[in-house]
A and B are shown apart, each in its own frame.
Chain A
Amino acid sequence: MAEEGAGGAGGEKVIHTYPLIRHSDMSEEMRIEAMELSVTACEKYSQNNELAARMVKESMDKKFGPAFHVVVGESYGFEITYECTTICYMYFGGNQAICIWKCS
Chain B
Amino acid sequence: MAPKKIPTPQGLSKAVKLPELWRKSSEKSLGSLLKRLRKEVTKSRANLAEDDGLDWLKPRALLKPDDQEEVADADLEEEVGRVLTTINPQWVADEVAYHYGQGRFVVKPRPSYGKAYPLFVFQGTAIRKDSDEAKAQIAAGYGMVSFDDAGPKKAKVKKSAAEEEEEEEPEPEPAATGEEAKPEEDAVAEEEKPVAETEEPAPTEAGAEQVEGEEGEVAEEAEPEEKQEGDAGEEVIEIKPRVKKLANQFNFCERAALTYVFPRRSVDTQTIPPPRANYGSTALQSVIFDFYQEDYARKMKEKEDEKPKRMRKKTTKHAKSAQQIHDEQLAQRIREAWAILERLVNQNIYDDIAQDYRYWDDPSDEFREGMGSLLPLWKFQFEPMRSHAVCDLQWNPHYQDLFAVAYGSLDFTNQQKEGCLCLYSIKNPAYPEYAVITESPIICLDVYKETPYLICVGRYDGNVCVYNAQLTLEGSYQYKSDSVRDKHSNIVWEVRWGARMIDGEASFFSISGDGRVVQWAVMPGELQATTIITLTSNVPPIPGPDGTLVTVNSCGSCICFHPEKSEIFMVGTEEGMIHTCSLKYNRNYVSSVQGHHMPVYRINYNYFNNSIYASCAGDWRVKIWEDGRDEPLFMFELGSPVGDVKWAPYSSTVFAACTADGKVYVYDLNVNKYRPICVQAVVSKKTKKLTRIDFNARLPVIVCGDTKGTCHVLKLSPNLRVMCKPPKKAQGVDQRTLQIMKLDKLLSLVRDPPFTPGVVDEKFEDD
Query: Would B295 and A20 count as touching, CB distance under 8 A?
Result: yes
**Known A-B contacts A1-B295, A91-B291, A94-B288; A79 and B280 likewise in contact (beta carbons under 8 Å):** yes
Query: Would B292 and A94 count as touching, CB distance under 8 A?
Result: yes
Range class of the A interface residue count: 20 to 34
Q: Is A82 an interface residue (CB 8 A)?
A: yes
Tell me which of A39-47, A52-60, A69-77 binds B. Answer: A69-77
CA distance A52 to B413 in the complex (A): 89
Query: Would B279 and A80 count as touching, CB distance under 8 A?
Result: yes
Query: Would A82 and B281 count as touching, CB distance under 8 A?
Result: no
Task: Please tell me which one of the listed residues B274, B281, B282, B285 contacts residue A23 in the complex, with CB atoms under 8 A apart.
Answer: B281
Q: Is A6 an interface residue (CB 8 A)?
A: yes
**Chain A binding surface SS class:** strand
Chain A contacts for B279, CB-based, 8 A: 23, 79-80, 82, 87, 89, 101
Query: Would B292 and A20 count as touching, CB distance under 8 A?
Result: yes
Query: Would B283 and A84 count as touching, CB distance under 8 A?
Result: no
**Chain B binding surface SS class:** mixed
Q: Is B257 an interface residue (CB 8 A)?
A: no
Query: Would A75 and B276 count as touching, CB distance under 8 A?
Result: no
Query: Would A89 and B296 count as touching, CB distance under 8 A?
Result: no
CA distance A83 to B300 in the complex (A): 35
Total inter-chain residue pairs, C-beta < 8 Å: 76
CB distance from A73 to the nearest CB of B (A): 7
CB distance from A22 to the nearest CB of B (A): 6
**Known A-B contacts A80-B278, A81-B278, A83-B275; A73 and B283 likewise in contact (beta carbons under 8 Å):** yes
Chain B contacts for A99, CB-based, 8 A: 281, 283
Query: Would B281 and A94 count as touching, CB distance under 8 A?
Result: no
Q: Is B108 an interface residue (CB 8 A)?
A: no
Task: Please tell me which one of the listed residues B275, B292, B295, B300 contacts residue A84 in the complex, with CB atoms under 8 A apart.
Answer: B275
**Known A-B contacts A80-B280, A82-B277, A84-B277; A14 and B285 likewise in contact (beta carbons under 8 Å):** no
Q: Which residue, of B274, B288, B291, B299, has the highest number of chain A Cβ atoms within 10 A?
A: B288
Interface flags for A12-33 (1: CB within 8 Å of B; 0: not) read 0010100010110100000000
CA distance A6 to B292 in the complex (A): 10
Chain A contacts for B281, CB-based, 8 A: 22-23, 77-78, 89, 99
> Which chain B residue shows the least CB distance to A7?
B296
**Known A-B contacts A73-B283, A74-B283; A97 and B278 likewise in contact (beta carbons under 8 Å):** no
Q: Interface of B with A (CB < 8 Å)? A: 274-285, 288-289, 291-292, 295-296, 299-300
Additional pairs, 6, CB under 8 Å, beyond known A94-B292, A103-B276: A20-B292, A77-B283, A78-B283, A81-B278, A82-B276, A94-B288
In the assembled complex, 5 residue pairs joining A and B whose CB atoms fall closer than 8 Å, in A order, are: A1-B299, A16-B295, A25-B277, A79-B278, A97-B283
The 9 tightest CB contacts between A and B, nearest first, are A97-B283, A79-B280, A77-B282, A16-B292, A84-B275, A91-B288, A83-B274, A75-B284, A6-B296
